[in-house]
Structure 1
Amino acid sequence: MSSFTIRAPPASDIWRKPPSTDIFNAPSTTPSHLQSTAALPSFLSAAVTFKVPYTQQYDQGGILLTFNHPSSPKNKWIKAGIEYYNGTPRLSVVSCDNWADWSVGPLTEDPSGTPWTTVSIQREGDDNGVGFWVYQILSTGEKIPVREICWVYGLDEVDQWDVKVEAMAARPAKGDLGELEVEVKDMSINWKE
């Protein structure tokens, strides 16, 4: 177990939208006993179990994968978790190659009634190629598919990219709102040996 809390101040976010919005100031961390960064081809999966005490539009917590290459002027990233949108907590995935795209869907209630949510990003391949799948994992072990992201393994020189895996929190709303405190109960990262 690797429990910890991430505190996100107001006006924190990870978001990139044309023509000029490029925000990457949300707090993120990985427990010191986990290897957080490695070559992209060695990534297998990562999961975080967390809860978000949302009160403001766009309050969010979850998992963040950041992709870096020495010759790339901007990083690329994926964040997945819970985001409070229009008065409802929703599963949220934002994927950013050049610009971000965002998808939201219903949060499946866990049959155990737990307030904790587990989100996983897993490398998966089939006859059509390799990509990342984002899942909500229930306490029963059931994997609820949320989104497939395919652009990552289409990057030029994919074997020269690094990926960093962290838990994250953000409170994009501005003003005197106090910090959002996202509790993380467990986090795991799996790399190829």
Structure 2
Amino acid sequence: MAPTNTFNITAEPGTDIWRKPPTTDVFNAPIALPPRGKDAAAPLRHSGPLTSFLSARISLNFTPEEQYDQGGILLSFRRRQRADAVPPSSRPPPPKWIKSGIEFYNGHPRLSTVSCDNWADWSVADLSATAQEAKAAQEIGWTTVSIEKDKDGNGTGLWVYQVLDGEGTSGGERKVPLREICWVFGQERLEDWDVEVHAMAARPEKQAKGGLVVEFSGLEVKWDS
């Protein structure tokens, strides 16, 4: 069943979020937040101190056609500035970021996570064995990803998961671990950093005919205060 309260992002050809040495640094993909519904008690809190961040998740669906067509969730990390120092529309790209979702790579939609501290690194994984196996390569269906703060005996980091609804114990959700990211909470003066969460979409192929439409639902961000 398709989710309700969806919203779309259209990514034009030549859009991407990617940073690779020696000189590639692209951050021109469209980002968005869900529109505030008439019955919403309060707007989504999508930004705050990194020390307070707990988790973020989103569901998405689209039909890819071009290599690297993608959509997902974006976490942007910035050093805190005075609220009136630089208008949000005038700010440069974030110095550090993470994106995770679905990316079309070598003929198949894949779970994709890119983590950018100094330069970006990228990992891909096959979609988990579910009803996806019965679909054509381009038919993704609704997919949910989650990025969650995690602390263990070795320290604090972020875990990225694919969330499978109805496949866990007693019909609950099951989380498939995709990647652990350890640099985020190792920033110098961690208390000076903020994180912002958005939905994002990109179509890096510059010669593509038309834009890529990605549908989103269920953007959720949790904080510890």
TM-score (norm 2): 0.81
2:113 pairs with 93, 97, 100, which one? 93
Q: How many residues are aligned here?
A: 193
Secondary structure at the counterpart of residue 218 of structure 2: strand
Q: Is the 8 A contact 1:81 1:92 kept in 2?
A: yes
| Structure 1 Cα separation of the partners of residues 66 and 182 of structure 2 | 31
Q: Is the 8 A contact 2:77 2:94 kept in 1?
A: no
1:110-143 CA-to-partner distances (Å, cap 9, x unmatched) read 4598810000000010111110000000012000
Q: Is the 8 A contact 1:5 1:183 kept in 2?
A: yes
Aligned to 2:8: 5
CA displacement at 1:185 relative to structure 2: 2.2
CA displacement at 1:109 relative to structure 2: 3.9
Equivalences for residues 17-166 of structure 1 within 5 A: 17-31=20-34, 32=36, 33-70=43-80, 75-111=95-131, 115-140=141-166, 141-166=173-198
Structure 2: gaps spanning 5 or more residues: 37-42, 82-91, 135-139, 167-172
Structure 1: gaps spanning 5 or more residues: none
Higher strand share: 1
| Structure 2 Cα separation of the partners of residues 143 and 104 of structure 1 | 16
Amino acid at match of 1:24: F
TM-score (norm 1): 0.94
1:69-88 CA-to-partner distances (Å, cap 9, x unmatched) read 15899510000000000000
- RMSD over aligned CA atoms reads 1.9
Identity across aligned pairs (percent)? 53
Whose radius of gyration is greater, 1 or 2? Answer: 2
